[in-house]
Amino acid sequence: MLQSIAHTYKRYRTLQTHRISALPVVILMPHSACNCRCVMCDIWKDNKNLKQLTEADISDLLLSLKDLGTQQVVMSGGEALLNANLFKLCEILKKENIKVSLLTTGLSIKQNADQLLRWVDDMVVSLDGDEAMHDAIRNIPNAFKKLKEGVEYIKFLKPSYRITARTVIHRLNFRNWPAIIAAAKDMGIDRVSFLPADISSHAFNRQTAHGPNLNSMKY
28-67: contacts with ligand SF4 (CB under 6 A) = 34, 36-38, 41, 43-44
State the nearest-atom distance from the C-beta of 9 to ligand SF4, in Å.
36
Residue 76's H or E segment, with its range, is none
Rounded CA-CA distance 162/90 in Å is 17
Judged by CB, which is closer to ligand SF4: 34, or 93? Answer: 34
> Contact 110/94 with Cβ under 8 angstroms?
no
> Contact 69/142 with Cβ under 8 angstroms?
no
Q: How many residues bind ligand SF4 (CB under 6 A)?
A: 12
> Contact 117/154 with Cβ under 8 angstroms?
yes
Question: In 3D, which of 29, 28, 43 has the Cα closest to residue 139?
Answer: 43
State the nearest-atom distance from the C-beta of 106 to ligand SF4, in Å.
9
Judged by CB, which is closer to ligand SF4: 68, or 184? Answer: 184
Judged by CB, which is closer to ligand SF4: 41, or 90? Answer: 41
Judged by CB, which is closer to ligand SF4: 46, or 121? Answer: 46
Judged by CB, which is closer to ligand SF4: 46, or 149? Answer: 46
Binding mask 130-169 for ligand SF4 (x = CB under 6 A): ----------------------------------------
Rounded CA-CA distance 2/154 in Å is 39
Rounded CA-CA distance 25/103 in Å is 14
> Contact 127/166 with Cβ under 8 angstroms?
yes
Question: Contact residues for ligand SF4 (CB under 6 A)?
Answer: 34, 36-38, 41, 43-44, 77-78, 105, 126, 204
